[in-house]
Structure 1
Amino acid sequence: MTHPAAAPTRPEAPRDAAAPLLDVRHLSLDFTSPRGRIHALRDISMTVPRGRIVGVVGESGSGKSTLAYAVIRLLAENARVVGGEIVMDGRDLLTLSPREMRGIRGRRMSMIFQDPMTSLNRVMSIGQQMIDIQYRDPISKAEKRKRAVEALRRVGIPDPEDRVNGYPHQFSGGMRQRICIAMAMMVEPALLLADEPTTALDATTEVQIIGLLERLQAEIGCSILFVSHHLGTVAELCHDVVVLYAGEVVEQGSVRDIFHNPGHPYTQALLDCDPGRIKEKTRRLPTIPGVVPSLVGDQVPTGCIFKTRCPHAFDRCDHEVPPSYAVVSGEVAPDAPHTARCHLRDAAEERRP
C-alpha cells in the first residue's frame, strides 16, 4: 500500500469544477442530548467532482461518518440540520420528501457501511437480500438472481452460483464486505458513500478491498466519498482529501497537495502521527497533545477550533475564526483547489515584522 510519505500513485481523474456531482454548502448539524445541543458539524463546505474519489480524514469524533450519513439522510432521530445545503444533480437533498429521497437511494446513491458483520441480515440468504434490493426493477426473479450472481462474481466471490445461497455467517469478514460492495455497486450509482469500509478487516484484506473499489470505480465511472482514518489508504485510493477536525473542515485539496504540502498544523500533526514515518526505533508512538474540545452548547471554542492543541497558536487565534486561505498564495480563496483555515497561511501575517 502506498505510504503517505511517498508520492501518491493514483492517476488523476478529470475535474469538472463547474458541475460537481455533490456540493455541500455551509452545512451545520446538531444532535440533541440531555447535556444540550452537540454542534457536530459546523459550516461544512466541500464538493465531490464527477468521476473522482474524495477522502474524508480526521480523528475519531471529527464528524466524518456524520457527514456521510447527512448526505444520504440516514441520521439518528435526535439529529437536526440547522443550516446549509446538500446539492446533488441540481437538487438540494435536504428539501426532498422521504419518498423522493428513497427514490435516490439505491439508484443514484448507495452506501457501504463500516461493519460488514452487522450490515447484512443474518437470517436471510445473500441471494434473497440481493434480490430484495432490486424491488424497483420490473424484471423476473430469475433475472434478479442472475444479476446477483454476476455482482458477486464481479467482486471476486468464488463459485457465486453456489455461494449466493449462503448466509452471512458462512462468509469471512472480507467476503462479507465484498458482498456489501457488490450490493452497493450493483445499481451502478453516480455517488458511492463508503464509511470506513476496511476498519474491521486485516491488513491483507484491506489492500484487496481497496484494489476492488479502485477497479469498480474505474469501470462504473462513479464518484466516491471515502471516509477513513487510515492515511495510507487515502493516499492509495483517493484523488482529493478533506480534513475534518471537531466538526469543521480545516483543509482540503488534492492528495498530492495534502500529503506533500500540508497547509494546516492539524494536517501536519496527523501525518506526523503515522507510524510509517518513524525513522528511528522508539517505544512511544507520536501523538497530538491535548484533547478535542467540547462541542456541547456554548462550550465550542471561539476563534480557531484547533488553537488549544496547536503549537503555533497566537493571539489572533483566540478570537478570530480563520477563513479559507489558498495555501500557495496566502490570499482568502474559499474556492481554491488547496485551502487551509489557518491564520498562519495569511500573507499579511507573513509580512508582519
Structure 2
Amino acid sequence: MRRDDPMPHLSARPLLAIRGLDLDFGTPRGRVHALRNVSLDVPSGQVVGIVGESGSGKSTLAYTVMGLLPENAEVTPGAILFEGRDLLNMSGSARQSLLGDRLSMIFQDPMTALNPVRTIESQMIDIQHREQGSRSEKRARAIQMLHQVGIPDPKDRLCAYPHHFSGGMRQRICIAMALLVKPALLIADEPTTALDATLEVQIIHLLKDLQKEIGCSILFVSHHLGAVAELCDRVAIMYAGEVVEQGTVRDIFYNPGHPYTRALLECDPGRIKKSTRTLPTIPGEVPSLLGSKVGCIFRTRCRHASDRCVQENPVEYRIGVDHVARCHLLDEQRLVSS
C-alpha cells in the first residue's frame, strides 16, 4: 500500500508529532539540506529510537526539537507539535518555558555537559528553578534523584565538583538532572557514546527503569543497534537527513524493508556469528547534502538501484500495521504480488 501521510494509524494525538520537517544550514558553499521531509511520532509513555550513521541527521533532529540551533539554521516547511502546540510557531519565551520542565535533554558528552566550576548541588538546585519549595526541599529532591541513578553516598557527593566524578558517574548526574523536573519528553542524544561497554549497559538499564517509573516518553538517538533493541519500543532509521524506515523494534530488527536498514543490521558486530578480523561495512560514502536532490538518496550505495531510483523520489510504502519504508522496491513488490 502506498502512503503519503505520516503514520495515520498511530495515536491521533502523540506527545510529539514531527510533520514534513525541512532544515537548511546556510554556508558559503550554498545551502545544506540537513533534514528533508522528516515525519515522526513519539507516543506518550514510549521510547522511540533514531538510528543511522554519523552525519545522518539524528542529533540535528534532536536539537531542532529542543530549539538549540545555530543562527545559520533555517526551518523551511514543517511542524513540530508537542502536546498539540507547534514549537516552531511559539514565541521565544513560551518555548523557553518548556525547556527544563516539559522538555528535557541528556547531551552526548558527559565530560562537557556540566559546569566545571560549580558544585553538583548548585547545578541540581538551579535546574529546579520552576519548582515550588525551599532550597532545603530542592536539595532533598536532588539527593533522592542521585540515589535513584546509583550515585553512592549522594548526600556527601552533592557538594563535589564534576571533576571528582568519572565519565559514567557524570552521565548518571546528567540523567538525574534531566529527570529531576519529571519531563513529559526526554531527548537523549547518544548518552552512552563516551562510555565503555559495561557502563553503556548500566546506563541503558537505568534509563529503562527510570522511564517506567516516571512515565515519560524518550526520543533516544543512537548508532548502537543493541542499545536500541534493549531500550526502545519503536525505531526510525535515518539516512542523509531523511527517515527512510520506521516501525516497531520487532519490525525493524526481524523484517527490515529498506536496503539501508538491512545493510546497517548486517554491519552490527552482535550479529556476526563467525570469527573474523574484518568487520562488514556499507560500501561508498554518505552523499553531500548541498543543493537539491532528486531520486533516492541511498541509490549510490544500494545494490538494488535502478533508473527509477535516479529519477523519482520514493514515497513511504506500508509494510505492516505500524511499519513503513521509503523504497521503490516495495512498490515493485506490491505490483508483482497484485
> Structures share a fold, TM > 0.5?
yes
Alignment-mate amino acid for residue 331 of structure 2: D
Q: For 1:121-163, what per-residue CA distance to the aligned partner results, in whole angstroms no more than 9, with x for missing partners?
A: 0000000000111112232111111111111111111100000
- Give the distance between the partners of 1:146 and 1:279, measured in 2 at CA: 49
> Which position in structure 2 is the counterpart of 1:341?
326
> Which position in structure 2 is the counterpart of 1:323?
315
Deviation at 1:347, TM superposition (A): 4.9
> Which position in structure 1 is the counterpart of 2:5?
none
Alignment-mate amino acid for residue 283 of structure 1: R
Alignment-mate amino acid for residue 238 of structure 2: L
- Give the distance between the partners of 1:256 and 1:114, measured in 2 at CA: 26
| CA contact 1:116–1:173 (8 Å) conserved in 2 | yes
Matches within 5 A, 1:191-270: 191-270=185-264
- Give the distance between the partners of 1:74 and 1:287, measured in 2 at CA: 32
> Which position in structure 2 is the counterpart of 1:185?
179
Moved more, 266-275 or 146-155: 146-155
Q: For 1:324-345, what per-residue CA distance to the aligned partner results, in whole angstroms no more than 9, with x for missing partners?
A: 00124xxxxxxx5100100111
Deviation at 1:352, TM superposition (A): 8.8
* RMSD, matched Cα: 1.5
Matches within 5 A, 1:80-91: 80-91=74-85
| CA contact 2:299–2:305 (8 Å) conserved in 1 | yes
- Give the distance between the partners of 1:287 and 1:182, measured in 2 at CA: 36
| CA contact 1:344–1:350 (8 Å) conserved in 2 | no
- Give the distance between the partners of 1:277 and 1:110, measured in 2 at CA: 33
Distance 1:82 1:144, change over 3 A: same
Structure 2 unaligned blocks of 5 or more: 1-8
User: So what's the TM-score if we normalise by structure 2?
Assistant: 0.95
- Give the distance between the partners of 1:64 and 1:249, measured in 2 at CA: 10
Count of matched residue positions in the alignment of Structure 1 and Structure 2: 330
Alignment-mate amino acid for residue 53 of structure 1: V
| CA contact 2:229–2:249 (8 Å) conserved in 1 | yes
Alignment-mate amino acid for residue 304 of structure 2: H
Q: Which of the residues 110, 116, 131 maps onto 2:110?
A: 116
Q: For 1:234-269, what per-residue CA distance to the aligned partner results, in whole angstroms no more than 9, with x for missing partners?
A: 000000000000000100000000000000000000
- Give the distance between the partners of 1:127 and 1:348, measured in 2 at CA: 59
- Secondary structure of 1:138's partner? coil
- Give the distance between the partners of 2:130 and 2:264, measured in 1 at CA: 44
Matched, 1:293 2:287: yes
Alignment-mate amino acid for residue 242 of structure 2: E
Identity rate of aligned residues, in percent? 65
| CA contact 2:128–2:180 (8 Å) conserved in 1 | no
- Secondary structure of 2:74's partner? strand
Alignment-mate amino acid for residue 102 of structure 2: R
